[in-house]
Amino acid sequence: MARRSRPLRPVDTDFLDTAPVRLVFAHAITAPPEAVYRALAEDTGDWPAWFDAVKSARPTEAGRDIALAGGVRFEETVLVADAPRRYVYRADTCNAPGLRALLEEWRVEPAAAGSLVQWTFAMDGPAPLRLMLRVLRPGLGRAFRGAVQTLDRRLATA
């Protein structure tokens, strides 16, 4: 049976600095910043092709509807779309128990061989959920690196 979505606390970009859990991952790839940004911010429907955890993604008027592996769903609002460097969105609703607030930021910086991609995952929830995310940090880092490497290969053949 599907879990029902519920509203999360609305947060703004300052939550990136104040969130109880803030996980930051970075990885260098060869794709240019403009192509990476386009994949992140404009080609929403293609996320499942390069990020295994994302099972479906569709644009909405305010942002995106996202379904993850395991049945977790989000309705998101884009807060910052600063091409080609920064893309920030907040989860407005979610069906995962315990989550109170979630904000994600993607930064794309020019690098000598292409781009440095950085993902910040900022969240709030009860102590057990915060602890679980800290424990899962290595796995989230591997998922991020794998997704960005797959995106890089995908952009190289586009």
Could you tell me whether strands 73-82 and 86-94 are parallel, antiparallel, or unpaired per DSSP bridges?
Answer: antiparallel
Q: Does 52 reside within a domain?
A: no
Q: What angle do CA 21, 144, 28 make, to 5 degrees?
A: 110
Q: What's the pLDDT score for residue 148?
A: 98
Q: What's the pLDDT score for residue 3?
A: 76
Q: Does 11 reside within a domain?
A: yes
| Alpha-carbon dihedral 114, 91, 51, 96, rounded to 10 degrees | 150
Report the predicted TM-score, pTM, of the whole model to 2 decimal places: 0.95
What's the domain range around 39? Answer: 6-43+76-156
User: For residue 133, what are the CA distances in angstroms to 81, 94, 107?
Assistant: 26, 16, 21
Q: Does 63 reside within a domain?
A: no
CATH number for the domain harbouring residue 39: 3.30.530.20
Q: Does 17 reside within a domain?
A: yes
Local confidence band at 2 (pLDDT 50, 70, 90 cut-offs): low
Chain segment 11-20, per-residue pLDDT in tens: 999 999 999 9
As a whole number, the mean pLDDT across the chain is 96
Q: Does 68 reside within a domain?
A: no
Q: Does 34 reside within a domain?
A: yes
Domains in the chain: how many in total? 1
Q: Does 54 reside within a domain?
A: no
On whether the CB atoms of residues 90 and 79 are closer than 8 A, the answer is yes
Q: Does 61 reside within a domain?
A: no
Chain segment 32-91, per-residue pLDDT in tens: 999 999 999 999 999 999 999 999 999 999 999 999 999 999 999 999 999 999 999 999
Local confidence band at 1 (pLDDT 50, 70, 90 cut-offs): very low
Between 154 and 134, name the one with better pLDDT.
154
